[in-house]
Every structure is written in structure tokens, then in C-alpha cells.
Amino acid sequence: MLCLTINLQERQPPGKGTMKIVSRLIMAFAALWLVYLCSSSRITSRNASLFKAQFGNLQMSSFNLVIAHPDDEVMFFAPTLLQIDRYLDQDIQLRVICLTSGNAEGLGPVRSAELKRSVHILLPDRSVHVTVADLEDSMQVNWDIEDASQIIANQITDNAPVIVTFDSIGVSGHVNHISCFDAVNRFAKTHKPVATYALKSQKSRLLKFTGLVRPILSAWLRRENQEYFSTYPQYIHSLAAMISGHESQMAWFRYGWWILSQFVFSNQVVPSVAKVINVVD
Ligand SMILES: [Zn+2]
């Protein structure tokens, strides 16, 4: 009888172990955000030193972001754009060149207008030249890289531009993102001098969706800073640009992206490998 009593007392209600794991995960998540809230000054000083190291010695005439779709600028590049806006001289022209209108679902004109609104919300104190071209928005169609390069050349006519775009993986493997990389490399081959940088993709799908974890660990544990990192206010600012700027794109799953993706918190932009990729003439 005594043994039976003890066994009944030790038996845990079903799901209690799961609840314990979930509560610990929630506490860890909350702690991570608390660290993030308290990290703004550290993040700001690391962003400043990285900007100085990457762009401080460049005699650039313009800074250009080449993207494939309206919303790429904020979904993937907001941490970079916000630091550029903060540290780049106001006299240097900033351009956003979008190679499609995002017309895959017939919303091209709407999405073009949304891009301009999003950029204005994201960078309200800077005059940004936004261009939307009419290449096909499709995951199945490879662009003519010469045409895409010519669109870039039509916009970037100054002699010392810096260009940032996707890398050869294109974050998500989207063919339009990858074509941006190829088009910029083609442009760089024929329009020197130019410095090109690419947003480094995360090859591991798991790591791509670890949200704040890796960036915050990197901000605190790595001595050398290699990425631009939005502070908490900057993150909220970029989320507002997404929600208010790209209303047609705000399906429920986008909120998941804004919690789980690394790219809304940090960007690693690295010199592009234009000199070694195989560009066919
Ligand atoms: Zn895109």
C-alpha cells in the first residue's frame, strides 16, 4: 500500500515535461531579447568600426543597392541600409535599383509604389534614388544577364560607385536574386573602377532561422566584427517599414520571418568575387 502511494505521487501528469521544456525555451527567448535591448551601444560602436574599415578609405561617388524584388531592401538588407544611412556622407548619392516590379501575381504597380514608400520610411532623412525595372519576376525564368547589367549601367553613370547585392546563393536560392549577383559582376567587369559587395548567405537552413541567437552571440563573443547589426530601435524601425511600406506582402508567415530570420537582425556584406567567377562573354 505504501509503495502504491509513493508511485502515484511520483507519476507526473502527462505533458509536464514538455511544459517544462517550453517554459525554459520561452525564458531563454526572453533573456535573449533582454540582452538585445541592452546591447545598443555595443552594437552601434561595432557598426561604426566596421563601416570605417569597409568603406572609410573608399573614394566612392555613390552607394548602390541592387535587388530583385520590392521588399528585398527591407527583408534582407535593412541592417546594411540603416548603417549606411547613419555613416555615409549625405553628399554621396544612395540608389536602390530593383530589377523587377514584383509582378509575379499581377501586383507590379502596387509593389513598385510600396518599394518607394518603404525606402522613404526606412531612410526618411536621406534623398534616395529608387528605380524599378521590368525584368520578369519568376522563380523559373533566368534573365539575360547582359540586359540586367545594362539596366544597372543605365542608372550608375558615376565613376566610383560601390554596389551591394545578393551573393551567388541569393539568400534563398531564388534565381532572380542570384541573377542580381551575376548582373553586378558583369557590370563590374565592364565598368571599372567599382567596388562590389555581396550579402553573405547562410548555407545552413537551420542557422538561417535562428533569429537573434547567432548575431547576438557574435556581437558579444567575437572580437572582430564582421557584420552590420540593427540595434533594437533599428529593428523596430525596419519592421515598421515592412508593415507600413509593403502592405500587399504582409501575409501571416512574414511575421515569422521577422522573428526567426537572421537577415532582419544582421548582414554580413563581403567583397564580391567578381574576379574569379566564370562570366561568359
Ligand atoms: Zn526577392
Q: Please answer whether residues 260 and 210 qualify as being in contact, where contact means their C-beta atoms are separated by less than 8 angstroms.
A: yes
Cα 23 to ligand 1 centroid, rounded to whole Å: 35
Cα 137 to ligand 1 centroid, rounded to whole Å: 9
25 in a structural domain: no
Cα 172 to ligand 1 centroid, rounded to whole Å: 9
Cα 201 to ligand 1 centroid, rounded to whole Å: 13
276 in a structural domain: no
Q: How many domains does the chain have?
A: 1
Cα 72 to ligand 1 centroid, rounded to whole Å: 5
Cα 258 to ligand 1 centroid, rounded to whole Å: 15
Predicted model pTM: 0.87
- Structure confidence at residue 223 (pLDDT): 75
Coil vs helix vs strand at 165: strand
Strand locations in 75-180, DSSP E?
Answer: 93-100, 128-135, 161-166
Give how far Cα 56 sits from Cα of 41, 49, 120, 224, Å. 20, 9, 25, 17
Cα 19 to ligand 1 centroid, rounded to whole Å: 38
CB-based contacts of 72: which residues, under 8 Å, 6+ apart?
98, 177
- Structure confidence at residue 10 (pLDDT): 54
Q: Please answer whether residues 73 and 190 qualify as being in contact, where contact means their C-beta atoms are separated by less than 8 angstroms.
A: no
254 in a structural domain: yes
Residue 186: closest CA among 64, 281, 99: 281
145 in a structural domain: yes
Cα 121 to ligand 1 centroid, rounded to whole Å: 19
- Structure confidence at residue 199 (pLDDT): 96
206 in a structural domain: yes
Domain containing residue 120: 39-269
CB-based contacts of 267: which residues, under 8 Å, 6+ apart?
76, 77, 79, 80, 199, 200, 227, 228
In the chain the first and final C-alpha atoms are separated, in Å, by 87
- Structure confidence at residue 234 (pLDDT): 97
Beta bridge partners of 197: 164, 271
- Structure confidence at residue 275 (pLDDT): 42
Cα 30 to ligand 1 centroid, rounded to whole Å: 30
Cα 6 to ligand 1 centroid, rounded to whole Å: 60
57 in a structural domain: yes
Cα 234 to ligand 1 centroid, rounded to whole Å: 21
Cα 69 to ligand 1 centroid, rounded to whole Å: 5
Residue 263: closest CA among 221, 195, 207, 179: 207
- Structure confidence at residue 194 (pLDDT): 73
Helix (H) or strand (E) holding 65: strand 62-67
219 in a structural domain: yes
Give 15-57 as a DSSP string: THHHHHHHHHHHHHHHHHHHHHHT-HHHHHHHHHHHHHHHHTT
- Structure confidence at residue 222 (pLDDT): 78
- How many CA atoms lie less than 13 Å away from 256 in the CB half-sphere? 5
Cα 249 to ligand 1 centroid, rounded to whole Å: 12
**Mean pLDDT, each 10-residue run in order, the chain (281 residues):** 48 72 88 90 92 90 97 97 95 97 92 97 96 94 94 94 94 94 94 86 80 83 85 96 95 91 94 52 35
278 in a structural domain: no
- Structure confidence at residue 196 (pLDDT): 94
Q: In one letter, which amino acid is 109?
A: P
| Cβ atoms within 10 Å, residue 110 | 18
Residue 64: closest CA among 205, 193, 141, 160: 160
Cα 232 to ligand 1 centroid, rounded to whole Å: 24
Residue 101's domain is classified under what CATH number?
A: 3.40.50.10320
Cα 22 to ligand 1 centroid, rounded to whole Å: 33
Cα 68 to ligand 1 centroid, rounded to whole Å: 5
Cα 17 to ligand 1 centroid, rounded to whole Å: 41
